[in-house]
Amino acid sequence: MSSGHVLALSGGVGGAKLAAGLAAVLPPERLTVVVNTGDDFEHLGLTICPDIDSVTYTMAGLNDRQRGWGVAGETWQAMAALKALGEADWFNLGDRDLGMHVARSWRLRAGESLSDVTVRLTQSLGIAHKVAPMSDDPVRTQVQTAKGWQDFQQWFVGEQCAPSVSAIRFAGTPGARPSTAFAEALARPDLSAVVFCPSNPFLSVDPILAVDGVRGALAGLTVPRIAISPLIGGKALKGPLSKLLAELGQEGSNHAIAAHYGTLLDTLVIDRSDGDDAMHLQAGGLAVTLANTLMRGPDDQSRLAREVLAAVGVEY
């Protein structure tokens, strides 16, 4: 058993749950959670980082489990005011969430890096583990639809993912450097494992892999690299992954996930109900672990985190 450091790569909601699980079973000095910033955008003068927010709220236990995103106990008064003032209302800003956006935006504008702001805000909410953006340089995910290239949030929230996607790109890459915490985690001599959280590979993990040097660094690691498939029965629990897979001409299955990550991965965790996929995946050279990948709350999060760490021989 290895007792070193764990680097978790996370997108939003699904990834955030496993990140919270890992934080529940590992001491602060043994975990770095690196978060996708490709979904970040500027809206009404605010810098909004949806995946960092999801990870922060979930790790702080503030997430709204019923709605599946945002902060529990949220209200929408500022949004109603903004709408009455004639401002754009396609992106719903909760009042509590707005506090986060205001705090982050003014700190960034005052010259703090996104990394520093993220440490400040997560620590304020009692998160002892390190949460870092993948990069302090702006990366913006864009999708190609019949209308041309669209900014991610315009498509994801503004159009509810309706337009069919033919390609995805990450504006700002190459050129975006890994954040200090990300680069340091990748280079740690005591690194024990890299965990690809159950996030959308195309929209949430690919931007992380597109950061300068990251794909090469991950490929060169000799420690286990394990992903948790975001699919159960070929369907994503949430978000547009199933639709995207079809539109990009790929099979809606764990095979597509495995194929997508390719040699960056040693182990894939799939849901027990998809056990039939195991033999074929293993034939492709991948270790496969079966687990209940559905996370309904903190207990599930910790349980899955323990199973993931056990699968790669990391102590918890």
For the CB of residue 138, give the shortest distance to a copy of itself in the complex, in Å: 17
H/E element, 19: helix 13-25
| 77 interacts with a copy of itself by CB under 8 A | yes
| 44 interacts with a copy of itself by CB under 8 A | yes
**Scanning the structure block, which residue is given the tokens 């702001």?**
117
Q: Contact with a copy of itself (CB under 8 A): which of 27, 28, 68, 99?
A: 99
Segment 67-72 long-range contacts (CB within 8 Å, at least 24 positions apart): 68/13, 68/238, 69/12, 69/13, 70/94, 70/97, 71/96, 71/97
Q: What is the pattern of x (binds a copy of itself, CB under 8 A) and - over residues 102-131?
A: xx-xx--xx---------xx--xx------
Q: CB-wise, 126 or 175, nearer to a copy of itself?
A: 126
User: Which tokens go with 163?
Assistant: 């337009």
DSSP letter string over 67-82? TSSSBTT---HHHHHH
Tell me the C-alpha distance between 243 and 98, whole Å.
30
Subset of 223-282 contacting a copy of itself (CB under 8 A)? none
| 146 interacts with a copy of itself by CB under 8 A | no
Residue 216 CB neighbour total at 10 angstroms: 10
In contact, 153 and 12? CB cutoff 8 Å:
no
Q: CB-wise, 89 or 299, nearer to a copy of itself?
A: 89
| 90 interacts with a copy of itself by CB under 8 A | no
Q: Contact with a copy of itself (CB under 8 A): which of 66, 86, 220, 222?
A: 86
Q: Where do contacts with a copy of itself occur on this chain (CB under 8 A)?
A: 44-46, 71, 73-75, 77-82, 84-87, 94-100, 102-103, 105-106, 109-110, 120-121, 124-125
